[in-house]
Amino acid sequence: MGGRAAEEIIFSDISTGAHNDLARATDIAKSMIMEYGMSEDLGQVYMAAEKRSQFLDLGLKEGGDYSEATAEIIDKEIRGIIAREYSRALEILRGKKDILVKGAKLLLEKEKIDGDEIRALMSNITPPGLPLH
């Protein structure tokens, strides 16, 4: 959720460019609830539908073996995880906004940051090639 949070902090807007963050976070939250039993409300139950080959797709909507009420709980839990983690990303990035801005400037100049440059940014050392102002 870091890309979306960074866009909100820097631009006060969210573009379509950060949609991969949302897609990945949703997939992970869905797996946590439906496959790994990480839900206090649903307990340790496997709820995911059986995986099917995409080549045998008959166009039928894939559904689980659970009620509509359970589906609502699943949706609520997924939204809750996403909301909590997005808030957490915002909190972390707001607390490190100066590093976020320096990193963004460096990325605009170089298009790629290596591990040493990230460590330097996190240590509040100006990486080589980045202006001090």
Selection from 25-34, 38-47, 124-133 with the highest mean pLDDT: 25-34
pLDDT at 132: 46
Give the whole-angstrom CA distance, residue 130 versus residue 45. 51
Residues 75 and 132 in one domain: no
CATH number at residue 81: 1.20.58.760
20 and 72 in a single domain? The answer is: yes
Residue 116 backbone phi and psi in degrees, to 5:
-65, -40
Dihedral of CA atoms 131, 106, 123, 89 in degrees, nearest 10, equals: 130
Indicate if 76 and 20 belong to the same structural domain.
yes
Q: What is the mean pLDDT of residues 23-37?
A: 94
The pLDDT assigned to 50 comes to: 64
Residues 132, 103 share a domain: yes
- Is the whole model's pTM more than 0.85, yes or no? no
- Higher-pLDDT residue of 54 and 5 is 5
Same domain membership, residue 91 and residue 101: no
Helix axes 115-122, 97-110, angle to 10 degrees: 150
Residue 101's domain spans which residues?
97-133
- Tell the burial category of 5 from Cβ atoms under 10 Å away from its Cβ (0-12, 13-18, 19+): buried
Residue 98: how many other CB atoms lie within 10 Å: 10
